[in-house]
Every structure is written in C-alpha cells, then in structure tokens.
C-alpha cells in the first residue's frame, strides 16, 4: 500500500476508496449489499470506491459496515512525548475554537 503521508489530497481520497473496495471484496460483500447496509445508492458507493469522495458520515458508515471503524482511533489525537509534556498538557486550557482573525487596519496602516 502506498504511503499516504506523501500524497496529495486527491490521491489520499482515491487510495482510501481503493482500500475500502479491497476490504469489501476481502469480506466478500457485494456493492449492493453494502450500499443497502449503509443507506446509500449503489452508484454512490461505487463512486466512492473509484474516487474516494463522499460525505464524512458516509465514510464513517462504510468503515463501520466493514468493521474498520477502529482504524480511525488514532486520527487527530494529540500525541504526548514525555511526562513533562503530559503535565503541561493537563495544566493548559484546551481550546474550544480558533482565534478570530483581526480585521485589517483602516487605510492600510499598521495597528
């Protein structure tokens, strides 16, 4: 399997669709059956397997139906490297949202 960490976003999507198809075939599940299980059309599932494009909800449903949902466990998890890092992380306030962008200064002058 190719290393997706070096791929472009479209290549990552295509590879995920290819992997989902390979998993479906390994489980011997027809497209029609999987599509019915997750509540999408056969065309939507086939399109995902070819392009890797679908909604996030559909992607999660596909993973769940293919018994691969646990593969998402480590996605976007903050990694700690040492006990000190763990202490700092525990003491820091976890952000709830991104900072607001400052509006540009009037007349292009610096603030």
Query: Is there a domain that residue 52 lies in?
Result: yes
Name the pTM for this structure: 0.69
**How long is the chain?**
111
Query: Is there a domain that residue 31 lies in?
Result: yes
C-alpha neighbours within 13 Å on the C-beta side of residue 86: 3
Query: Is there a domain that residue 66 lies in?
Result: yes
Residue 41 belongs to domain spanning:
8-72
Q: What total of structural domains would you count in the chain? A: 1
CATH classification at residue 34: 1.10.260.40
Q: What is the DSSP string of 46-104?
A: HHHHHH----HHHHHHHHHHTT-GGGGTTTTPPP--SHHHHHHHHHSPPPSSPPPPPPP
Q: Could you read off the pLDDT tens digit of each residue along the chain, which spans 111 residues? A: 678 888 899 999 999 999 999 999 999 999 999 999 999 999 999 999 999 999 999 999 999 999 999 998 888 777 767 888 777 777 776 666 777 777 777 775 555
- Residue 6 confidence (pLDDT): 84
Query: Is there a domain that residue 43 lies in?
Result: yes
- Residue 52 confidence (pLDDT): 95
Query: Is there a domain that residue 37 lies in?
Result: yes
- Residue 59 confidence (pLDDT): 96
- Residue 42 confidence (pLDDT): 96
């Amino acid at each position: 399997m190719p290393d997706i960490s070096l791929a472009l976003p479209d290549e990552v999507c295509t590879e995920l669709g290819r992997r989902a198809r390979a998993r479906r075939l390994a489980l011997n599940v027809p497209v029609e059956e999987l599509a019915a299980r997750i509540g999408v059309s056969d065309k939507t599932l086939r399109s995902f397997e070819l392009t890797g494009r679908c909604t996030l909800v559909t992607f999660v449903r596909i993973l769940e139906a293919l018994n691969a949902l646990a593969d998402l466990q480590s996605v976007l998890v903050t990694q700690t490297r040492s006990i000190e890092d763990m202490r700092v992380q525990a003491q820091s306030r976890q952000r709830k949202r991104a900072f607001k962008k400052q509006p540009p200064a009037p007349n292009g002058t610096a603030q």
